[in-house]
Every structure is written in structure tokens, then in C-alpha cells.
């Protein structure tokens, strides 16, 4: 990378230490970071309008003179409110700012300004918190009066500062080398990289912004495909741990299960067992909607592996889930395999708590056959005796990194471990094919018999009480209730406010007589586990939480899933949440509670959920109804690795995939395209260290 691109933004005029720290939180330290930290949207403020023409609800830019400006404090609050009157030839309008008392020093009466923002009529016609710019000194207008980028913010940052950083950085865009082969640019009629980056930040028109986006999305997909393509090719050349298929043991285990495996489970188990017999590393994705029984499949193949001395590691996304898996597996299979758990705070062999050293020894000398863990398992001091299989539960990275990170005492002498990824997120077939074409897939498309469908209701306005009654009825029958809250403000990333609010309403209102618990991201792991444990044990009737309960938690006695602000979640995510109930013998319910009036589109999405319980159907609907970007919801998205690209860009993904294949076929080392090779290496480091 050219030196100028490494220049740090903290040296920019107007940035300073505090803003530099906030920028760092957004991942913006250098010019290069700033160039690639794109705005998440553009506002078209290109036309200043006459003040007399302003109507409520509009987004406008106006130009005029400040005639009056004053600060005062809101009643009962410590908030400072700044009010000003701005006047042009046609009329005048009020502008209101909150928490920005310093403005009276900047926007003195007589100053000519440009203001851009939304028109509100709650306090009389006014512009609320408009972006301002002093234009009396004849400076070209930067933040108002054109298409302006809107960036993510943190801490004390303002759009103004973010734009300044972007603008300063764009001066160095000439140092970015074009890395996409000219042939592709010509053939696809892409804009050049420097132009694309500039237009992403400060587009001349929305059309140019969208061309730039197209080009840069392609970049992401192409790099992703090249990286995966290379990894796949390398994998083909490696030897895997050969794990024999011990039919006797497998038959015994299956016979001992308290239930009959579904046909889909049998088929998947068989496919995995056959894969693992081979010298070629398995790379299989086990897909199955919530409740289709993926864990048992993983357990059976782990027991088979143990029969010939191989260990299995199951990686879970959260401590709660790891703990639950460990308990379940120990309870069901404890007399066949020694089950361990290893997370930051939990270390057990069977039910016995052990020290870290004892744990590491047990893994190293092969005393543990099956270990469940979180990220902690990936740390350097964890070494296995003979690791035959890695299972990655509920995630989408397909474990390339994990396979590399987990170490075997013999190194690769045993061969590398097989890899099984399990997910409940339905990926439409068309997309899976282009994204992960040669990943083997097994589908659990069958529910264990006896599962009842979950009655799903969309709560109409003012009908809450009926549903609260139903929830009380369930709890009176000793059933339990999940309540999930959305994260509404960016500043409440941990969900504290959101959960607190619902909790307080419930505990003082309709559920005053019940035992309620709260879970949010600010609680310590131990506190979270405690609450969850009390819930699992039936010592709480209701748990109110953020989406932490989304993945995998099994509480068969829970029969109601109440989703607050349901329209704020993606369909696929709602479907996942609903899957938390209906796991036991009782009829279960899912209540969708909108936080306000629903848009027609939101209504359609929620109705789809009321009608269907087929995850694949819902994923398709989500794609149709919601459009790009959000299909998997935010947390489980397999697309988090793409900053710009989304699920809806299937044509672009497909084209990137074809190019990647051609290029790797022609020259696997990519030496023919040194620029491309260099960029791919950078990309590898970016994704590797994130």
C-alpha cells in the first residue's frame, strides 16, 4: 500500500484526539480506512427551496439569514434547546437544535447559512436538528445543497466531521491502484476504482453513486470467490483424518435413542459418516430448520469417531448454547463418550468442574472425546490428541478459519480434521449454489413426528390485553414465556434500554404476579447464565431479552414467544425466534406485537409468518418483500463479511464466481495479475484479522 494511504486521519485539521478515538471505533484510522468506510446512504439535498414552499415531512435545504438565535433549557430536563429564525426573500422558518448550545456562538444573527433537514410541525413549522453551513464567506457548500453522504457515527462524531475526513481522504484517492484486470472492467463496463470510491462518497448524481456501488460490490464478491476458490483448491490437495465407519457402534447408538431418527436425519448421518471415511477433507453443510434435530446427527458421528479414537470439537456461538449442548450431550450420551465444555468461564469434564490446566491436559491426552466450546477453544494453548471432526454450529463462515485454528498434537500427520457446519438459517438453493457451489449439503427437511405447529398471531392495535391474558393462562399452567425486544437506538447496542422498558411495563402492569427475568448484553456472562438457568429450571415464568435467545436454546416447557416490535426483525430471524417454542409436547404460540402502525410491506411480511412455518419459503419471501441487505437479519447474516454486497445481488455474485473460476483455472497463483494478487492478499488479512 502506498505510504500516503497509511497517513492517519488523526492528523487532519479539525479531528483531534477524541474524534480520532471515535473514528477508530468505526475502524477509521488511516486514509485508506476512510476511503473504504462508505456512507450507508446519500441524501439528495441538491435543491434549496423557497421557505414559503416548505411543507411538513419534507427533507429540504434552505438558504437564508439568521435573524434571531437563542438557547433555553427544556422544563424538567437538563437538555439545552437552541432556537433560531432563518429568513429568505419568500419568508421565514424556525430551526430547532437539541444539545447544541454552542450554535449561538457559530450562527450569530446576520450570518448567511444553508440549512438542510427535515420539516416538522410538532412545535410549529420548523426544521429539527438541521445540518448547517455558514455560506456568507463565500465558501463552496459542502454539507448542504447537494447530494450528501450519511455515515455511521460513534461517540462525539458528527456528519460534518465524518464528511470532512472523507473529503480530506479523497484527495489521496489517486494512490489507490486499479487492481481489477482491465479486461473485466471493459467487459462489464465498470467504473475505475478511483472514480468509484470518489463517487461513493460525494456522487455527482445518484446514478453515479449506484454505478460506483455496483463496481465495488463486484470487487467484494470477486475477492470472496477468489479466496474461497483458492482455499477449496488447497483443501483438495490436503489429506484428512480417515475416520472409519463403525456400523456396529452406530447401530447401537441409534437404537438406544429415546426416539426414532427421521429419514432426513438418517440420510444426513450416513452421508457424513461416508465423507469422514475418506482421505479427502469433508466440507459439509447440514441445514435444517430449528427443531429438525441437527444436534443428534452431530452426536452420532462424534460417537462413531470416538470408537476409533478420534476426538470431536463442537463450536457454538454463545456460552449459553455451548452449555446447553454440553448438558444435553452428556445426559444423552455420557456413558458412551466423555463430554467436555470449554469456554471462557466454564470448564467441565462430564458434570465435574475442572481447572483450565486439567481441561487442557484432558484434551491433549485424549481423555475428552467430545468437547463443546466457544471461541476459547480456538486459542493457541488448546491442543488435541487426535482431532477428527470439527462441528461449527449455527453460523455461516463455514469454518475455514476454525479448521486452521484448531490444533492437533500430531500436527497434520493425522490429516486435517473434517468439517461439518450446521445452520438453521435457510439459504435459498439458488444462492447457496453460486456462493458455495462445491460445498456438500445435507438437508433436514423433515420434523420429528409429533411436533405441533406453532399458532402465530399478529396482534392488532389495542388487542394486547387478550394476548396478555393468554400469556397469563399459560403461565398459570406452569408453562413459560419468552419475550424478545428489538434494539431500537444505535446507542443502545446492548439492548439495555429496550429490555428495561418492556420489563418495567410488564412487571408493573399485566404480569405483576409473575416471576420475570431480564437478559441483555450488558449483563455479565455469569449473570446471564444464572437467569437462563433459572428459566430452564422453571424458577422464572418469563424471560425478557434481546435476541440472545435466538440461537439454539432449548426450553421444551416454553410455549409462548412474544415478539415486541416484530416489524423491526427480518423474516428469517422471526422464524428463528419462533422456533424457540414448540419444542415440547405442548401447543405453542407466537405473538407478533408491532411497535406502531405497519407499512403495507411490513404487514405482508408478518402475514407470511402467520401463514407459513417453512423456513425456505419464508427466506424467499423475505428476499422478495424486503429487498437487499437484510435478508438474514443482522446477527446471523452470512453476509456480514460483505460491507456492500447483499443477498439480492445474485447476478453479480454469479458473475464474480465465473470470473474467479476462470482466473484460478488459468493461473492458480494469479501471478499474471500482480495487482489482483496483491489486493487478494490484503483482503485475506482483512478477513483474517477481523
Binding of Mg ion by 291 (CB under 5 A):
no
Smallest distance, ligand ADP to C-beta of residue 427, A: 15
Binding of ligand ADP by 334 (CB under 6 A):
no
- Binding partner of 428, given Mg ion, ligand ADP, none, CB within 5-8 angstroms per partner class: none
Among positions 543-562, residues that touch Mg ion (CB under 5 A) are 552
Only segment of 47-55, 100-108, 284-292, 588-596 that touches ligand ADP (CB under 6 A)? 284-292
Binding of Mg ion by 39 (CB under 5 A):
no
- Grid coordinates 418495567 are at which residue? 504
C-alpha cell at 344: 471462557
Smallest distance, ligand ADP to C-beta of residue 495, A: 23
- Binding partner of 161, given Mg ion, ligand ADP, none, CB within 5-8 angstroms per partner class: none
Rounded CA Rg of the chain: 28
- Binding partner of 261, given ligand ADP, Mg ion, none, CB within 5-8 angstroms per partner class: ligand ADP
| Burial status of residue 255 (CB atoms within 10 A of its CB: 0-12, 13-18, 19 or more) | exposed
C-alpha cell at 263: 429419514
Smallest distance, Mg ion to C-beta of residue 292, A: 9
CB atoms near residue 657 (< 10 Å)? 22
* DSSP category for residue 87: E
Report yes or no: 248 and 673 within 8 Å, Cβ to Cβ.
no
Q: What values do phi and psi take at 281, rounded to 5?
A: -65, 130
C-alpha cell at 451: 411436533
Smallest distance, Mg ion to C-beta of residue 394, A: 6
**Binding track over 389-428 against ligand ADP, x by CB under 6 A:** -----------------------------------x----
Cα separation, 156 vs 659, in Å, equals 43
Q: What values do phi and psi take at 536, rounded to 5?
A: -60, -40
Report yes or no: 61 and 196 within 8 Å, Cβ to Cβ.
no
Among positions 521-580, residues that touch ligand ADP (CB under 6 A) are 552, 554
**Binding track over 575-614 against ligand ADP, x by CB under 6 A:** --------x-------------------------------
What is the SS3 assignment for 438-488?
CCEEEEECCCCCCCCCEEEEECCCCCHHHHHHHHHHHHHCCCEEEEECCCC
Smallest distance, ligand ADP to C-beta of residue 247, A: 20
Cβ proximity to Mg ion: between 39 and 552 the closer is 552
Smallest distance, Mg ion to C-beta of residue 293, A: 8
Cβ proximity to Mg ion: between 579 and 645 the closer is 579
Report yes or no: 371 and 342 within 8 Å, Cβ to Cβ.
yes
CB atoms near residue 424 (< 10 Å)? 24
**Binding track over 224-263 against ligand ADP, x by CB under 6 A:** -----------------------------------xxxx-
- Binding partner of 583, given Mg ion, ligand ADP, none, CB within 5-8 angstroms per partner class: ligand ADP
| Signed CA dihedral, 639, 645, 646, 652: sign only | negative
Helix %, strand %, coil % of the chain (to 5): 40, 20, 40
- Binding partner of 259, given ligand ADP, Mg ion, none, CB within 5-8 angstroms per partner class: ligand ADP
Smallest distance, Mg ion to C-beta of residue 77, A: 47
From 366, 428, 448, 628, residue interacting with ligand ADP (rule: CB under 6 A):
448
From 130, 281, 288, 486, residue interacting with ligand ADP (rule: CB under 6 A):
288
CB atoms near residue 487 (< 10 Å)? 21
| Signed CA dihedral, 230, 232, 236, 237: sign only | positive
Give the interface with Mg ion as residue ranges (CB under 5 A).
552
Give the interface with ligand ADP as residue ranges (CB under 6 A).
259-262, 265, 288, 290-296, 424, 448, 552, 554, 583
Amino acid at each position: 500500500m502506498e505510504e500516503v494511504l497509511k497517513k492517519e486521519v488523526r492528523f487532519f485539521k479539525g479531528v483531534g484526539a477524541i474524534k480520532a478515538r471515535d473514528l477508530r471505533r468505526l475502524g477509521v484510522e488511516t486514509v485508506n480506512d476512510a476511503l473504504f468506510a462508505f456512507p450507508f446512504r446519500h441524501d439528495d439535498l441538491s435543491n434549496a427551496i423557497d421557505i414559503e414552499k416548505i411543507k411538513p415531512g419534507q427533507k429540504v435545504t434552505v438558504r437564508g439569514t439568521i435573524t434571531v438565535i437563542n438557547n433555553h433549557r427544556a422544563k424538567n430536563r437538563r437538555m439545552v434547546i437552541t432556537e433560531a429564525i432563518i429568513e429568505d426573500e419568500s419568508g421565514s422558518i424556525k430551526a430547532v437544535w437539541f444539545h447544541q448550545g454552542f450554535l449561538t456562538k457559530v450562527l450569530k444573527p446576520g450570518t448567511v447559512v444553508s440549512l438542510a433537514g427535515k420539516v416538522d410541525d410538532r412545535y410549529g413549522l420548523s426544521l429539527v436538528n438541521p445540518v448547517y453551513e455558514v455560506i456568507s464567506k463565500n465558501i463552496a457548500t459542502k454539507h448542504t445543497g447537494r447530494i450528501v453522504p450519511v455515515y455511521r457515527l460513534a461517540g462525539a462524531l458528527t456528519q460534518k466531521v465524518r464528511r470532512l475526513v472523507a473529503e480530506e481522504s479523497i484527495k489521496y484517492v489517486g494512490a489507490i491502484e486499479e487492481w481489477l484486470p482491465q479486461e473485466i472492467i471493459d467487459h462489464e463496463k465498470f467504473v475505475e476504482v478511483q472514480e468509484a470510491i470518489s463517487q461513493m462518497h460525494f456522487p455527482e448524481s445518484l446514478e453515479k453513486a449506484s454505478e460506483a456501488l455496483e463496481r465495488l460490490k463486484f470487487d467484494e464478491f470477486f475477492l470472496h470467490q477468489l479466496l474461497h476458490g483458492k482455499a477449496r483448491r488447497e483443501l483438495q490437495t490436503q489429506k484428512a483424518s480417515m475416520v472409519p465407519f463403525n456400523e456396529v457402534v452406530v447401530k447401537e447408538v441409534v437404537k438406544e435413542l429415546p426416539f426414532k431418527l427421521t429419514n432426513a436425519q438418517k440420510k444426513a448421518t450416513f452421508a457424513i459418516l461416508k465423507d469422514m471415511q475418506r482421505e479427502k477433507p469433508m466440507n459439509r453443510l447440514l441445514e435444517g430448520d430449528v427443531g429438525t434435530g441437527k444436534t443428534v446427527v452431530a452426536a452420532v458421528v462424534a460417537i462413531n469417531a470416538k470408537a476409533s479414537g478420534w476426538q470431536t470439537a463442537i463450536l457454538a456461538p454463545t456460552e449459553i448454547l455451548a452449555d446447553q449442548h454440553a448438558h444435553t450431550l452428556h445426559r444423552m450420551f455420557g456413558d458412551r463418550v466423555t463430554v467436555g465444555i470449554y469456554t471462557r468461564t466454564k470448564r467441565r469434564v462430564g458434570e465435574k468442574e475442572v481447572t483450565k490446566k486439567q481441561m487442557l491436559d484432558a484434551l491433549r491426552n485424549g481423555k475428552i472425546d467430545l468437547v463443546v466450546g466457544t471461541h476459547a477453544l480456538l486459542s493457541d494453548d488448546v491442543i488435541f490428541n487426535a482431532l477428527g471432526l470439527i462441528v461449527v454450529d449455527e453460523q455461516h463462515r463455514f469454518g475455514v478459519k476454525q479448521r486452521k485454528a484448531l490444533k492437533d498434537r500430531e500436527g497434520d500427520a493425522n490429516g486435517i480434521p473434517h468439517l461439518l457446519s450446521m445452520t438453521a438459517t435457510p439459504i435459498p438453493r439458488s444462492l447457496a449454489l453460486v456462493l458455495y457451489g462445491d460445498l456438500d449439503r445435507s438437508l433436514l427437511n423433515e420434523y420429528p413426528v409429533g411436533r405441533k405447529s406453532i399458532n402465530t398471531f399478529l396482534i392488532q392495535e389495542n388487542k394486547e390485553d387478550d394476548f396478555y391474558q393468554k400469556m397469563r393462562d399459560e403461565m398459570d399452567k406452569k408453562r413459560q414465556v419468552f419475550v424478545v425486544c428489538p434494539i431500537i437506538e444505535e446507542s443502545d447496542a446492548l439492548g439495555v434500554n429496550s429490555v428495561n422498558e418492556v420489563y418495567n411495563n410488564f412487571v408493573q402492569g399485566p404480569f405483576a404476579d409473575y416471576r420475570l427475568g431480564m437478559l441483555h448484553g450488558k449483563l455479565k456472562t455469569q449473570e446471564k447464565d444464572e437467569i437462563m438457568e433459572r428459566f430452564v429450571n422453571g424458577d422464572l415464568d418469563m424471560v425478557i431479552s434481546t435476541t440472545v435467545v435466538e440461537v439454539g436454546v432449548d426450553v421444551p416447557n416454553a410455549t409462548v414467544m412474544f415478539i415486541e416490535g416484530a416489524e423491526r426483525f427480518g423474516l428469517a430471524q422471526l422464524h428463528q425466534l419462533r422456533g424457540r417454542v414448540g419444542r415440547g409436547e405442548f401447543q405453542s404460540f407466537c405473538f407478533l406485537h408491532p411497535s406502531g402502525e405497519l407499512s403495507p410491506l411490513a404487514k405482508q411480511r408478518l402475514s407470511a409468518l402467520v401463514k407459513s412455518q417453512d423456513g425456505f419459503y419464508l427466506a424467499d419471501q423475505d428476499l422478495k418483500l424486503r429487498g437487499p441487505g437484510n435478508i438474514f437479519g443482522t446477527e446471523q447474516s452470512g453476509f456480514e463479511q460483505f460491507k456492500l454486497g447483499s443477498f439480492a445481488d445474485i447476478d453479480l455474485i454469479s458473475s464474480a464466481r465465473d470470473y474467479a473460476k476462470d482466473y484460478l483455472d488459468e493461473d492458480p497463483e494469479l501471478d499474471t495479475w500482480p495487482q489482483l494478487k496483491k489486493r487478494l492478499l490484503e483482503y485475506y488479512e482483512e478477513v483474517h484479522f477481523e
